[in-house]
Structure 1
Amino acid sequence: MRSAVPVGPIVATLIAMIALCGPARAEELNDYPTSARAEYVFGCMKANGETREAIAQCSCSIDVIASIIPYERYVTAETVLSMSQVHSNLGTQFRTSEQAANALNDLRRAQAEAEVRCF
């Protein structure tokens, strides 16, 4: 039994739509620069052993984090972590700011999710 609607044009249209959506979606999901991912993996491996298994777990971890929080928010949280260690008035501002605490909490939640999924 033949369909009344020609399937060829429908399939071609769907393939074209998928092709157009594919690259944009990949960019959205991969907004972390390679250097940031590598830096995370190196630090993670130092903390979790420098084994083949650690490479896989740490790579998985940054992928999970990247899927949860945008790169801009990740940079903010990393900056807060770094600056909060400064023993001056500037460090105090980073330790007591509500915005800084929120960014740090977002990162910690993403890291906890990554821990569950990857380790």
Structure 2
Amino acid sequence: MAAFFSTSSVKAAADYPTSVVAEYVYACMKANGENRNMLDRCSCSIDVIASIVTYDHYVTAATFKEMGLVSGEKGVLFRESAPAKAALTELKRAQAEADVRCF
């Protein structure tokens, strides 16, 4: 597993609170399979994301993503604004990179 990420990505993941890392890995495993292989791949995934996206940017993107689920006019700002689109694009790119490296 150590071949998947460098020392800098491990340090970046350390900047994310443990509960956030655990929540990501848990959700990833629920979506992809609850076995040891997926534990390793999902852990790798959040490490890659953390090496690309700072924790503050991750929180911003996650907030836009969650609030964008609000229907109607209330959710439009979180789906359509330039900051929302930029934050979500950054997170999607990091997730795509994580998919390539880990899955």
Q: Please indicate, yes or no, whether the TM-score normalized by the shorter chain is above 0.5.
A: yes
The C-alpha deviation readout for 1:52-111, integer Å capped at 9, x for no partner, is 100000000000000001000000111111001101322111111110100000000000
Structure 2, unaligned runs of 5 or more? 1-7
The one-letter code of the counterpart of 2:99 is E
- Number of aligned residues: 95
Check the 8 A contact 2:60/2:87 in 1, yes or no: yes
Aligned partner of 1:32 in structure 2 is: 16
Partner of 2:3: none
TM-score between both structures, scaled by the size of structure 2: 0.86
- Bigger relative CO (Cα 8 Å, ≥ 6 apart): 2
**1:114 to 2:92 alignment:** no
**Highest CA radius of gyration, 1 or 2?**
1
Q: Is the 8 A contact 2:41 2:102 kept in 1?
A: yes
Please, what TM-score do these two structures have when normalized by structure 1? 0.75
Q: Which residue of 1 aligns with 2:33?
A: 49
Identity of aligned residues (%): 57
The letter of the residue matching 1:41 is V
